[in-house]
């Protein structure tokens, strides 16, 4: 990868990494440098064709990982200045994921994340009495949300309920009663496994994501 990369791109990524280390107070590995370099080159290829991706994760990332998202925005601004480009802020979500995945990502936590994800998927499958296609795009989107959710549980960073969420919670519960029932089972599981309570915020978004996943079962898997 290095041998095929532009030296200016390598220097740009080095500056982005230095900024990340300073802002997050961490020392990153060469692996993150390489993955960011690969991401940059793919981004530049898409920019030439004006093929920018509207990320469905940007809201979650901005809300639950504000430091990493802000850092990604700064990285995007550095790329824009260096390459004289105008890039949508949605692209910052993809860059932020690189920092999030590296940050405090212990092996033991990874194993716990995978087991918890598997357990939650099993709860949903048993509730709806069908098997979820784990190779589908819909499941990949859902599992990404679950991974963030599980990471927040492990780090004791679950979102707290906001004053204006109650009405939305009631509406979603009534619109998607089966998703609501599934979330109540997941609540019991989380309480038992982690001694943690899920707020209405977390419940609301879980219901929305579960409904989105389950209502598309059997339909064409579209991006």
- Taking only the tens place, the pLDDT of each residue in 121-176 is 999 999 999 888 877 777 877 887 888 888 888 888 776 655 567 888 899 999 99
Contact between 139 and 173 under an 8 Å Cβ cutoff? The reply is no
Please tell me whether residues 112 and 156 are part of one structural domain.
Answer: yes
Q: What are the helix (H) ranges across 54-135?
A: 58-64, 66-83, 91-102, 107-128
pLDDT, tens only, 30-57: 778 888 888 898 899 889 888 886 676 7
Same-domain status, 85 and 135: no
Residue 221: inside a domain = no
Q: What is the pLDDT of residue 35?
A: 85
Instruction: Please tell me whether residues 21 and 117 are part of one structural domain.
Output: no
Give the number of other CB atoms < 10 A from CB of residue 157: 10
Q: How many domains does the chain have?
A: 2
Look at residue 102 and tell me whether its pLDDT is greater than 90.
no
Final residue before a domain boundary, out of 102, 134, 158: 102
Is 36:43 a contact under the CB 8 Å cutoff?
Answer: no
Q: How many residues does the chain have?
A: 223
Distance CA 183, CA 19 (A): 40
pTM: 0.53
Q: How many CB atoms lie within 10 A of CB 96?
A: 26
* Domain CATH for 129: 1.10.1790.10
Task: Indicate whether 223 belongs to any domain.
Answer: no
* Owning domain of residue 195: 107-214
């Amino acid at each position: 990868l290095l041998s095929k990369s532009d030296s200016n791109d390598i220097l740009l990524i080095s500056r982005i990494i230095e900024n990340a280390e300073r802002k997050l107070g961490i020392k990153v590995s060469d692996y993150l440098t390489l993955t960011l370099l690969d991401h940059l080159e793919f981004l530049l290829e898409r920019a030439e064709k004006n093929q920018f991706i509207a990320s469905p994760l940007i809201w979650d990332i901005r809300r639950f990982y504000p430091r990493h998202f802000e850092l990604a925005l700064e990285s995007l601004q550095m790329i824009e200045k260096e390459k004289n480009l105008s890039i949508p802020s949605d692209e910052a979500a993809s860059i932020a994921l690189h920092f999030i995945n590296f940050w405090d990502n212990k092996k033991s936590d990874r194993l716990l994340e995978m087991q918890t994800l598997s357990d939650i998927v099993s709860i949903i499958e048993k509730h709806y009495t069908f098997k979820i296609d784990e190779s589908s795009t819909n499941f990949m989107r859902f599992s990404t949300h679950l991974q963030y959710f599980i990471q927040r549980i492990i780090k004791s960073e679950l979102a707290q309920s906001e004053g204006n969420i109650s009405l939305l919670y009631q509406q979603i519960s009534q619109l998607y009663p089966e998703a609501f029932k599934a979330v109540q089972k997941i609540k019991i599981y989380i309480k038992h496994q982690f001694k943690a309570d899920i707020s209405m915020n977390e419940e609301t978004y879980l219901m929305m994501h579960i409904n989105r996943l389950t209502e598309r079962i059997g339909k064409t898997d579209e991006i």
